[in-house]
Structure 1
Amino acid sequence: MIALIQNELMKIFGKMASWIYMVIIVLAVLVAGIIYMKFSADPNPNWRQDTQAEITMLENQMASASEEEKLMLQEQIDQTQEMLDKNINPTVKTNWHFMNDVVIGVSSLVTLFVVVVGSANVAAEFSDGTIKQLLIRPHRRWSILLSKYIAVIIYGLLLVLTLIVSGYLIGLVLFGSGDFNMKIFEVTLEGRKEAVVGTQFFLKMLYYIPSLLMIMTIAFMLSTLFKSQALAVGVGIFVLFFSSTLGGIILMLADKYTWAKFLIFPHLDLTVYALQERILEDITFPVSISILAVYYAIFMMVTFFFFQKRDISI
């Protein structure tokens, strides 16, 4: 099995595109860092005095405000005062702020490239006519397919590592070394959440990995079902880009139709759980991961069943 995995990794890295994807991720992080630096306000050493002045101004505005405006102003005052009380500087920008705010967003490129590689992994063997040479070797079909699957996982993890390392180094150069344990406020659908900036970044990455694995598995399944590499890649990319839109629509339907909660799309982006405890009243992370586990088992069974039974005549 190890020899098979090594062979599949050699195939992946034997293609120039696999290296180009890594370079693109680094360049994307660099460009995102420059934009983040240009459009972010400069750190304010007198932020406490300015924040207190802002609170005073808001309190003065309340004197002539309507009852509805007073409620909004009071909420703004409370949030601003909380920054002072917890010594959270809203103007500070360090490498960890950059990673938590920006680098995590570049992870969508990682998903895209893994979908492209995963979708083409088996379909390319049929398109190129090399599937027969692969299957005449003294290995079972399932072991050949499993080696391909593991190789794609390894490549995906290497892209994630490239993202994290390049993000840290570029952030270090552009923004300097910051305190890993610095407190921040994250905006969520449930309000503001206090978090530790470094921990929050790795928490998002931790939730991102199962989502990446799931979307990659869908792409890999499509690769075994379609002999056309272009069709497999096209459908895989469609699932990637429209999953979040479909997930939002399904969540709106879930209040009316209970079965909608068990569809896969609302659960494909688990990073939301780094910001809030639930996506619906009764949908928490254990529920989402359990639903994904069921779909994962189904997708894997379909993938290996069809590959075992598939006609390899070309």
Structure 2
Amino acid sequence: MTPPATPSAFAARLAADAGSIVAFLDAELARDDGIRRHWPAPLRSAMRHGVLNGGKRLRPFLLMETARLLGGDENAALHVAAALECVHCYSLIHDDLPAMDDDALRRGQPTVHVAFDEATAILAGDALLTLAFELICRPGLALAPAAQVTLVTLLSEASGAAGMVGGQSLDLAAETGRLNETDVARMQAMKTGALLRFACEAGAVVAGAGPAERRRFVAFGERIGLAFQLADDLLDVTADSAVVGKATGKDAERRKATFVALNGIDHARRRCAELIDEAAAELAEFGASADILKEAAAFIARRDR
């Protein structure tokens, strides 16, 4: 019988996968062959600054661990996970811009527009977004062309107007404070939850899972996505910016509508715990084999940054 995963086992797996993602992206962004010899040096540097600046790499980890659980090809999972991280990092670069969240600090480092300039930051984000789709469609991966098309479609939906970008638009509107709980839940499911849901479903697609298994991982991803945003909102209220690595207290300063603002800290913590329990229940049929993913869900609720 497989022993249950412990927090330390999860932490070791998360760190190992983060190391794989960083090494892969470092090599990809350093390549100077073929068409990449035309990449302008300042743009390349800004892309590297936006990607290789720390972070837990939770989204690619979820994708890789889901694929691993279901028997997917490790190299194919690594490429798709790196693509997902490119999209996530592009979104952070753009979110930090003065026209958006106006942040000077990200993961304890100067944001890209501070380290370079606003125009270069916009272009670096654009370049990372398009690089993501190149990675998924790369020839030679152990993925059927139909699976590559499915992954491109899913990532397009998760990152576009019906997903992350649309959620950011709603998030900016939330600064008026006139959103109700249903509006806030929709915004969070789009802005944060869409990429986390994609991570879990994409891992299943990489592994060639059937519709029933894919639905389970979609449901798992949706619940941890909502829990992640709740935890993020709680951090904005309760954490120190020096610990988190970015500015805190901005939601209250801008009178932004959040679940915490609408219902209070205690209620938000209870709902976060409920979502993690619901997420774990979705993976019950996999037994101890899914314990690493269940521990990942628990980590989302208790994270301090």
More strand by share: 1
Q: Shorter-normalised TM-score: what interval?
A: 0.3 to 0.5
